[in-house]
Amino acid sequence: MINKEDKIVITGCGGMLGEAVYSEFKDICKVYASDIDLNEDWLEYLDVSSANAVAEYLENIKPDYIIHLAAKTDMEYCELNSEETYATNRNGVTHVVKYANSANIPVVYISTAGIFDGEQESYREEDKPNPLSVYGRSKYEGELEAKKATKSIVVRAGWMIGGGPKKDKKFVKKIVEQINNGSKQLHVVNDKFGTPCYTYDLAKSLHFLVDNEYYGIYHGACDGKCNRYEVAVAMMIDLGIKDEVEVIEVDSSFVEKDFFAPRPRSEILQNIRLKKIAPHLTRDWEICVKEYLNKFDWLERS
């Protein structure tokens, strides 16, 4: 059970998920939030790819828990910069696990549905990983490192939604950007399947797992399944612009120039283990998309 005096180090906390994880923990214990992108005054600089910097930082704080979010997450960037990607996404984990084992403290690592090859309809926790991209491979190797922690919690996330207009870098933000740039027609792929993952729910799941010392591998996406086109259609309804903006179904070849990193056909996650211990923690993706769009002001009206 986390106590008020406990210290939690959160790496990569300036990102989409970090925003929610910081809010989840900041009032219940002492949070030490770090990133290489210092976009908040509560962040301090820590590059997890540096073994020395990580060791020095952790020795100095002596945390009771580590939540390791830091990663290169732009799949195209990763494809083009594999050395840097592995230095962060795999070696960063090695560095925090080394300290965690020396201090016998838990490490939480966030993995991805992208460790699977997408040939199955959906994925359970025990299914065999076979990543297709540099990002997917680096995250899977990170998972293998995280499993070396004596107290290891690995949570595989789906298509991340969260962070709001300031921090969201993924699908919701990319769609909103097109609308704000005046697009009245959006071309969205219908041949990539997955499960959105709501950062604010995922942060609650992490809290629950840490608090109750549930170690092991979990899937922590929303409930349900969809394709990208269906998410875009839901967004138009939730934003109240379904009669103004047309969503046109295309296949992946339409966007392959911009999104050239190999992506699995299916990234649908089944949250079997989490549902068994805490059925209340994950909600249907449509509810989460709606809640997310209502939480922030997205549209720049002229």
Ligand X SMILES: NC(=O)c1ccc[n+]([C@@H]2O[C@H](COP(=O)([O-])OP(=O)(O)OC[C@H]3O[C@@H](n4cnc5c(N)ncnc54)[C@H](OP(=O)(O)O)[C@@H]3O)[C@@H](O)[C@H]2O)c1
User: Which residues lie near ligand X (CB under 6 A)?
Assistant: 11-12, 14-18, 35-37, 46-49, 69-73, 88, 92, 110, 112, 139, 157, 159-160, 169-170
Least Å from the CB of residue 54 to ligand X: 9
Which residues in 253-268 are b (16+ Cβ under 10 Å) and which e? eeeeeeeebbbbbbbb
Nearest distance from C-beta of residue 6 to ligand X, angstroms: 22
Least distance CB 4 / ligand X (angstroms): 26
Of 240 and 260, nearer to ligand X (C-beta) is 260
CB of 75 to ligand X, least distance (A): 9
What separation in angstroms does the CA of 22 have from each of 108, 163, 200?
Answer: 14, 11, 10
Nearer to ligand X, 147 or 242 (CB): 147
- By beta-carbon distance, which residue lies closest to ligand X? 15
CB 26 within 8 A of CB 32: no
Rounded Cα gap, residues 85 and 71, in angstroms: 8
Shortest reach from residue 280's CB to ligand X, in Å = 22
Q: Which is nearer to ligand X, 219 or 298 (CB)?
A: 219
When the beta carbons of 74 and 245 are compared against ligand X, the nearer one is 74
- Residue 104 vs 292, nearer CB to ligand X: 292
